[in-house]
Each structure stands twice: as structure tokens, then as C-alpha cells.
Amino acid sequence: MISSFLRGLSVRDVEAALEEAFETPVVSKSTVSRICADRRERYHVWCDRRLDEHDLVDLFLDAVYLKLRPDDAPAEGVLVAWGVTLAGGKVLLGLQVGSRVSYDDWLDFGRDLLARGARPPALLIADGAPGL
């Protein structure tokens, strides 16, 4: 249900898809809407969380392109930051829609990580994204 909504289907479309799949009404439009609103709120809380608790050793920066809409719209770029901590744990630090070739998008993404308390790592790894 959440994946369908994230891919751009409307609440009514999600409700109809579930009904079609299960051959009976499964959830109401208001339930779909409430679940999606809850997920959206949890995502925003995750995006705003503090990062200063992580002792970063390595920081991996990359951009991926995802088909987020079911129509012919082009794939959207998503900037990604992964960290490896001193203890060896991996942590997803941030996600932000942006282009791998855009200096301004990467600058905004990096500033957001710093504003949330990310500490400079010992090593920064990237695959040559032109915007970096």
C-alpha cells in the first residue's frame, strides 16, 4: 500500500488496487490516507533527526535514479549519504531529491547533514558525481 502511494498512485487508486488484488474491499480510503500520512510524518522526523551521535569514519555519497511515478515521467535523482561508524556500524544518514550533476543540490544536501550534527569523516567516498 505504501509503495503504491509513494509511486504516485492516489489514495483512491491504492484502495482500488487492493480491492482488485483481494477481490473484496480491504481498506477504506480514509485508512489508506491515514497510513500514508503516518508514514510521511515518520519520514519527516527521520529526515530531521540529529546525527551527532554517530562517530563517522567513512562517508559514502552517491546518487541513484528511481522511477517514482507509474507514468512515463523520467526517473528522479535521489542523493544518498551512508556512514560507517568507528564501531563498524553502517548508518543511512540522509536522502534528498536532487541531481548528481548539480553542485547546488550536493551543497544543500551536505549543509543539511552538517546542520543536523554530522561530524566530518576520516574518509569521503564518491563515484565521481559531477556535482561533487
Say whether both 83 and 22 belong to one domain: no
- pLDDT value for 7: 61
27 and 72, same domain (yes or no): no
Q: What is the pLDDT of residue 96?
A: 93
* Shared domain check, 44 and 60: no
User: Hey, what's the cell of 2?
Assistant: 505504501
Question: Is the pTM value of this prediction over 0.85?
Answer: no
34 and 67 share one domain: no
Query: What stretches of 1-112 adopt beta strand conformation (E)?
Result: 56-66, 76-85, 90-97
The boundaries of the domain holding residue 95 are 56-126
| Claim to verify: residue 22 and residue 71 sit in the same structural domain | no
**How do the pLDDT tens digits run along the chain, 132 residues long?**
666 666 666 777 777 777 887 887 777 778 877 887 888 899 899 999 999 999 999 999 999 988 766 677 788 889 999 999 999 999 999 999 999 899 999 999 999 999 999 999 999 999 888 888
Q: Are residues 95 and 66 in the same domain?
A: yes
Q: Are residues 109 and 61 in the same domain?
A: yes
Please report, for residues 8, 9, 23, 24, 35, the alpha-carbon distance to residue 17 in angstroms, rounded to integers and kept in the order given: 13, 10, 10, 10, 16
* Same domain, residue pair 60 and 111: yes
